[in-house]
Structure 1
Amino acid sequence: MQTNEEFVKRLRKGAYGFVNLVRYTNDDNSSYLAAVKNSYQKDYQSLVREIQVLLQLKGCPRIVTCLGDSLQQSFSRFGEIHKLPLEYASEGSLNAFMNNYADRKLPEPLIKDLARMILEGLVSIHGHGYVHCDIKPDNVLVFPSSSTSSSYEVKICDFGNCLEKGEVPLCWEINFPWLGTAIYMSPESVRDGIADMFLDLWSVGCLVLEMYTGVSPWEGLELDDIATRLLSGQAPEIPEILPSDAKDFIQTCFSTEPEERGSASELLLHPLLPRPQVEGEEEETSNSFLLNLFKLRTRRRGSEKKVTTDAVSDKKPLKLLRFWKKKATLFKRTLNIVLRLKKSTDLFSLVFVHQGLARGFYS
């Protein structure tokens, strides 16, 4: 049981309230630090929604952990305060963390690690039927990592704007039509405000772009200009100097047709992101195989969506990319096996199939 609560410092202040660093001491004199989110009565419902979502996601990796299963209350001269204790991220938000690097540009290996972790968090969120609706550097927390493969790990926080898939927020028709923070939002969030997992993936593209360039998307533009560009199908500019796999990843996130972005699980297959190395496999061949596989999966997803929308009854054969021309028969066998793994996101299985075919196991 907590016997003492000691204020340490103010961590940040926002429109919803403020976050304090607090030290809690137990009866046995053990203590721990917590980041306590404080909101006044007007933001009470948002905080209730946040703890409800966090309790459902408790134990999921890449999601910040709430400490306790209910809100705490206290009083001040400004009125009643509602408190949500959360685990403390000693490295702060990703936004603050980027300030430690020259021009706010992160090293490429770190970008890949963090992008993978953010997508892993979205897999959990989307798997529970929720859309975060506000993925941005301020809502990604950085922790020291105990893993030898990465110096840091990240977790997604701030679920005050989180909605169930298909939900439309009550404020959307009243306020300026943004479902989240303007510079990280997708065209459909401006157009209709319906929560869908695809808008989180657009935000991931913005975030990865910012980690590479150190500059926020749509830098220097006013809200009206951003809305106009999004509604006309434009996306933030991707510099040509970025590596080709990074550009491809971001372009996929910026697809104007939301379903062509795939899912968080499918984006985890993208060659940009770190994956297990298979002994004896050439990196270039592996990248080529996974890139074509990723594109095939997202194209099939888009094709299925269009068939349903247009009520087309005849099934037309999928037009395939003609790579490995001299091994057309081998590719056909690969495709048949991949299609049977339609909903699988097991990278180990997919690479194993590729290896097995290359060595003649399925001939």
Structure 2
Amino acid sequence: MTILKSTLENINLFPFLDYPENCTDVSIYIPSLFINFISDHSHNIFYQDFEFYNLLGNGGFADVYRARSRVTGQEVAVKIIEKAKIRKNYLVNRVRREVEIHSRLKHPSIVELYTCFEDSNSVYLVLEICHNDDLQTHIARNGPLNEDVARHYLKQIVHGLLYLHSHNIVHRDLTLSNLLLTKDMRVKIADFGLATRIEPGQEHKTMCGTPNYISPEVVSKETQGLETDVWSIGCMLYTMLVGKPPFDTREVQATFNRVIACDYSVPRDHLSPEAADLITSLLRKLPQDRLKLSAILNHPFMTKHPSSHFPRKMVSI
């Protein structure tokens, strides 16, 4: 199958995001950026070049569709962002940043952005398609994961996040709904709408993210760094194993109050001592007290030998 590629193929314009060694065979894509949004030029790709199928998901200002390139035959996901909505909600810079960051990323645990284009009404991001929905939907349908499967997914998530953090990129919206599952049930990090690059000397205090997964420093609008993603990993692991987020309530403010107080309990009768210890090592109120991302893979929970089968290949699209 012919893969959608850049007209800037094999040119590394962003050396600070060099591919890991096991990805050097994949050509780099730096997309054309949006007329009136980021730059004043675009590639010759148009809406008519794609055949669109079913809706995969939607949000406040974007819809994602399954599609196929009429040129290459490749199946993709296309995120359609309405220009009027992002202008109205002052989100132009957010879309700029999303594309600027996502277009530079190449890792097996990160959804790939192949290309992008625009017309007078919308911006289109052409993305790698993941056929088995997201991890949140998977758990809602099938119940909590056993520890072997959760460990299997967590390793992939941590590897992807180590790649991001090695380039000082913080995701800021790591949730189970932003972890997509491929045909062979591998997990991929998606949605870089809130991601940002932490520059030396910069302070980030923006209140953003998903209530059940954001850290105390984000809720309190204190300085936040890469450690906020580590907190989110703790929330995701808890949810994978227990079936609900650790700070979940019926009201957002009540959830925020629990997050700030670090008010949660680990069902130790349900989890192994290793799983409980990893969760409590990640969900610590002070960022500096949390387990370092680089240490997660060496935690006893992660080095435990698997005793069960991993998810079978399946296709839900």
Question: What TM-score do the two structures reach when normalised by structure 1?
Answer: 0.65
1:278-337 superposed Cα distances (whole Å, 9 cap, x missing partner): xxxxxxxxxxxxxxxxxxxxxxxxxxxxxxxxxxxxxxxxxxxxxxxxxxxxxxxxxxxx
Q: Which residue of 2 is the match for residue 213 of structure 1?
A: 242
135-144 vs 42-51, which moves further = 42-51
Q: Which residue of 1 is the match for residue 155 of structure 2?
A: 116
Q: Which residue of 2 is the match for residue 106 of structure 1?
A: 145
Partner amino acid for 2:113?
C
Match of 2:80 among 38, 53, 67: 38
- 3-state SS of paired residue (2:212): helix
* 1:83 is the counterpart of 2:124: yes
Q: Which residue of 2 is the match for residue 295 of structure 1?
A: none
* 1:200 is the counterpart of 2:229: yes
Pair 263,105 (structure 1): closer, same or farther in 2 beyond 3 Å: same
Partner amino acid for 1:54?
H
Question: What TM-score do the two structures reach when normalised by structure 2?
Answer: 0.74
**Which is richer in helix?**
1
Q: Which residue of 1 is the match for residue 188 of structure 2?
A: 155
Shift of 1:167: 4.2
Q: Which residue of 2 is the match for residue 95 of structure 1?
A: 136
> In 2, Cα distance between the equivalents of 1:189 and 1:133?
9
Q: Which residue of 2 is the match for residue 9 of structure 1?
A: 54
Q: Which residue of 2 is the match for residue 52 of structure 1?
A: 100
Shift of 1:138: 1.0
> In 1, Cα distance between the equivalents of 2:49 and 2:278?
48
> In 2, Cα distance between the equivalents of 1:199 and 1:211?
19
- 3-state SS of paired residue (1:141): strand
- Give me the CA root mean square deviation: 2.2
Match of 1:143 among 182, 188, 201: 182
Higher relative contact order (CA 8 A, sep 6+): 2
Partner amino acid for 1:198?
E
Partner amino acid for 1:181?
T
- 3-state SS of paired residue (1:182): coil
Q: Which residue of 2 is the match for residue 237 of structure 1?
A: 265
Partner amino acid for 2:75?
L
1:182-227 superposed Cα distances (whole Å, 9 cap, x missing partner): 1111111112343311111111111111111111332334222222
Structure showing greater Rg: 1
Q: Which residue of 1 is the match for residue 210 of structure 2?
A: 181
Partner amino acid for 1:163?
T
* 1:128 is the counterpart of 2:167: yes
Partner amino acid for 2:268?
E
Shift of 1:5: 1.1
* 1:64 is the counterpart of 2:93: no
Shift of 1:274: 4.3
1:79-102 superposed Cα distances (whole Å, 9 cap, x missing partner): x1111111000011111222331x
In the alignment, is the contact (CA less than 8 A) between 2:79 and 2:126 conserved in 1? yes
Structure 1's consecutive aligned runs of 4 or more residues displaced over 6 angstroms after TM superposition are: none
* 1:250 is the counterpart of 2:263: no
Identity of paired residues, percent? Answer: 27
- 3-state SS of paired residue (1:144): coil
Partner amino acid for 1:168?
H
Q: Which runs of 5+ in 2 are unaligned?
A: 5-44, 307-317
- 3-state SS of paired residue (2:209): coil
In the alignment, is the contact (CA less than 8 A) between 2:101 and 2:196 conserved in 1? no
- 3-state SS of paired residue (1:273): helix
Q: Which residue of 2 is the match for residue 168 of structure 1?
A: 204
Shift of 1:9: 0.8
> In 1, Cα distance between the equivalents of 2:223 and 2:278?
24
| 1:203-352 map, 5 Å | 203-232=232-261, 234-241=262-269, 242-274=271-303
Partner amino acid for 1:162?
A
Q: Which runs of 5+ in 1 are unaligned?
A: 146-151, 173-177, 278-363
Shift of 1:14: 0.8
> In 1, Cα distance between the equivalents of 2:180 and 2:203?
26
> In 2, Cα distance between the equivalents of 1:216 and 1:229?
12
Matched residue count: 252
